Chains A and B, each alone.
Chain A
């Protein structure tokens, strides 16, 4: 069990740029989740995949956000035209049926 892997660990970008994060789940997990966490808050749910199907999206996931999991393995989260308010830790988690979610260590995004 190598755990959930997220890359990059840190991303600094200028406002208006596009950014993409990658998540590699635990290999036998078919469910993958994205969350956003800001300072002093708990993680907030963004979206969830079962295999390659995106089954739920939060209202927090604006039009500038898109997530994919094309082959049901790794996933990417893209943010277009970044804004100051997008600065946060982006967490990925994975799980299998009837098992709890395991989190990665996140990608910290800073918008200049």
Chain B
């Protein structure tokens, strides 16, 4: 099955700095890569996603890059703010029966942004 490694497990930055979280995956059949933000006591919330036919995608302060050959993808957050503090999960998804996607999640990165 799919195996997703995520690093670092904890990331501490000063407000305004950039934050980078990296993930690797093992199954070359995975072709959809969502990123989720999870705040304490809440469910994961999708922040950005990328499909395997795209190398990079940007949405305001958030960008994701994908290297299919090397099987790694990264999340970049620029101009970090205290409200960005949360746990971030990457996922690599395979096609499931019926056409949906089933994600395998990394173990998460706890991002702390100090004001």
Binding site for B on A (CB under 8 A): 4, 31, 33, 40-45, 48, 50, 53, 55-56, 91, 93, 95, 97, 100-106
Most chain A beta-carbon contacts within 10 A, residue among B44, B104, B107? B44
**Further pairs besides A50-B98, A56-B102: 12, Cβ < 8 Å:** A41-B107, A43-B89, A43-B103, A48-B98, A48-B100, A55-B100, A56-B97, A91-B43, A91-B44, A97-B99, A101-B46, A101-B103
CA distance A87 to B6 in the complex (A): 24
**Across the two chains, which residue of chain A brings its CB closest to B110?**
A40
Given A31-B100, A95-B100: A40 in contact with B107 (beta carbons within 8 A): yes
State whether B104 touches A45 (Cβ < 8 A): yes
Q: Whole-angstrom distance from the CB of B37 to the nearest CB of chain A?
A: 11
Assembly CA distance A54 to B106 (angstroms): 25
The reply to whether B43 and A55 contact each other, CB–CB distance below 8 Å, is: no
Contact between chains at A44 and B105 (CB < 8 Å): yes
Interface size class of B (residues with CB under 8 A): 20 to 34
Contact B107 A55 (CB under 8 A): no
| A42 B49 Cβ-Cβ under 8 A | no
CB A96 to nearest CB in B, in angstroms, measures: 10
Instruction: Verify B91–A42 contact, CB threshold 8 A.
Output: yes
Residue of B nearest to A106 (CB): B43
Most buried by B among A31, A43, A44, A106: A43
Q: Which of B6, B43, B97 has the most C-beta atoms of chain A within 10 angstroms of its own C-beta?
A: B43
Report the minimum CB–CB distance from A80 to chain B (whole Å): 25
A53 to B98, CA, bound (A): 10
Question: What are 12 of the A-B contact pairs (CB < 8 Å)?
Answer: A41-B105, A41-B108, A48-B100, A55-B100, A91-B43, A95-B100, A100-B46, A101-B46, A103-B45, A104-B43, A105-B41, A105-B42
Chain B residue numbers with a CB within 8 Å of A103 are 36, 43-45
Q: Do A42 and B89 have beta carbons less than 8 Å apart?
A: yes
Give me the 4 closest cross-chain CB pairs, A-B, nearest first: A42-B105, A103-B43, A55-B97, A50-B98
Identity of the chain A residue whose Cβ is nearest the Cβ of B90 in the assembled complex: A42
| A101 contact set on B, CB distance < 8 A | 34, 46, 101, 103
Q: Mark B59-103, 1 if CB is under 8 A from A, else 0.
A: 000000000000000000000000000000101000011111111
